[in-house]
Chains A and B, each alone.
Chain A
Amino acid sequence: MKPSKETEFAECLAGYIMGDLTTEEFKEYESVKPSTGTPALSDLERVAATVSLSALDQIEAMPESLRRAVSNTGRAIVSEVATRRIADVVEVAPPQSGRVRERLAWIACLAASLLAVFFWQGSQGDSDRDSGSPLTRDSLIASATDLIQTKWSEGTTPLKNDVSGDIVWSDAQQRGFMRFVGMPANDPKVWQYQLWILDPSRDSDPIDGGVFDITTGEESIVAIQAKLPVNQPIGFAVTIEKPGGVVVSDQKRMPLLAFVQPEKKKKPAGPEI
């Protein structure tokens, strides 16, 4: 006997919560679901979550390093994002499929730009060695056995000035620095720079590398403030954003890019022969 429409819809909701809808079923779900969600859906989700909880006999303490990382990230997000009531922004954002498309477009745009830089850099000479950098950057360069170092290139919306410099990063130390020469100073009350780290091995979304200001057109060194662990970055992008930065960039203003060429990863540390 063919199940009733009601039964079919209920099973569709259950499939949604269990994460096993086929593409066809998902389209059907999208076409019939109320825009505000349904109590039935929420109840199913709650029951599923309770089933998961019910299996826990004992709770294990979180590793200390993880606890520290979670707390640090939390404080950064809560002070930067929650205070700007990002949740309200999320609620009035376009429908979810639109947000996904927007993010994919952002990734595609960034990836395409980085690819162009890759080919451009392929025809250039090796990166120059900097001098006179702060100790912290120097110490990272000296100590990291997996150092990534790559030069800035023009992004999709280049600045009027000729900007040079580079970016250094260590996956192992989860530390890195940006170096800029000729970067225009910004007024933090009007706009700020924001770094994005592209790490497809970790996630499809670029990782927020921190909001920063430039106060001088001469050499500036800025520490990277990655909001998530970075595993294998393939590129970096600097965008111009409103004060405080954004969670997802509209990538309308992307003045600088840096591509990590595979052969420039994992450079051994130590004296050069």
Chain B
Amino acid sequence: MDPGLEYPLGADDLNDESSTRFGGPPLMPLIAAGDTSAVDRFVERYGGLIWTLTKKMTRSTHDAEDLVQEIFIELWKNAAHFRPERGSEISFISIIARRRLVDRLRRNSAQAQVHNLHEESVIEFSERQPDSLELADEIAKVRSCMDQLSPNAQGVLKLILQEGMSHQEVSTSLSLPLGSVKSFARRGLLSLRECVQRPFTAAISEAGS
């Protein structure tokens, strides 16, 4: 194994969040209460995940390091907003991380917007689905639902959400008009949500048909 790789993120790590490195009692409530000893444990548990996610979606190691620090600061400051009964800690972390990534993309974009996602400090999950799904199930379901999207929607969402590309970069990469990129991204995300909220078996049989 590459010495730089800490551990694989696959079957063992994501299939049962309660018994893996990402599992254990949530640390956010301790951090929110001012328990500094939880900080190192939190960094130990999630540092690699945040680093890998950030590095994948930024263009340079320097950018990634800078962004990782921003993400962690956002996490420390928003620890009190985490509600274990509403969703897993790792989902909370990934949402905060994505907000910062989007903010950075927006800052770097010529079409800078007037708002920041991360200013939406409260994360509220709907009551319908998340607390009944483990992370690995969610990921499996999202992957399955992605497969059901049109090739263009899949390509656009992957480049934006997994590679950290701006809409303009996606437009160039896929030779699609910018307006089409936006449409594929928005409608693709809406379709994904609809698919994810359907019972897993229904989604699978739909994929099969």
Contacts and interface: CB of A to CB of B under 8 A. Distances in A.
Interface of A: 10-11, 14-21, 23, 26, 30, 36-37, 39-40, 42-63, 66-67, 69-71, 73-75, 77-79, 81-83, 85-88, 90-91, 96-97, 99-100, 202, 227-229, 247
13 contacts: A18-B102, A18-B160, A18-B182, A18-B189, A47-B193, A47-B196, A49-B98, A50-B91, A51-B142, A52-B162, A74-B42, A97-B115, A228-B73
Contacts of B7: 58-59
B68 to A, nearest CB: 6
B204 interface: no
B43 A52 contact: no
Given A39-B126, A50-B91, A74-B39, A26 B6 contact: no
Nearest to A45: B95
B126 A50 contact: no
A43 B125 contact: yes
A44 B193 contact: yes
A contacts with B: majority SS: helix
Given A87-B78, A91-B122, A79 B142 contact: no
A14 B135 CA distance: 22
A69 B67 CA distance: 13
A50 B94 contact: yes
B31 A82 contact: yes
Nearest to A93: B121
A87 B97 CA distance: 18
Contact of A21 (B35, B48, B113, B124): B113
A74 B76 contact: yes
Contacts of B79: 78, 82, 87
A97 B39 CA distance: 31
Given A14-B190, A39-B124, A56 B36 contact: no
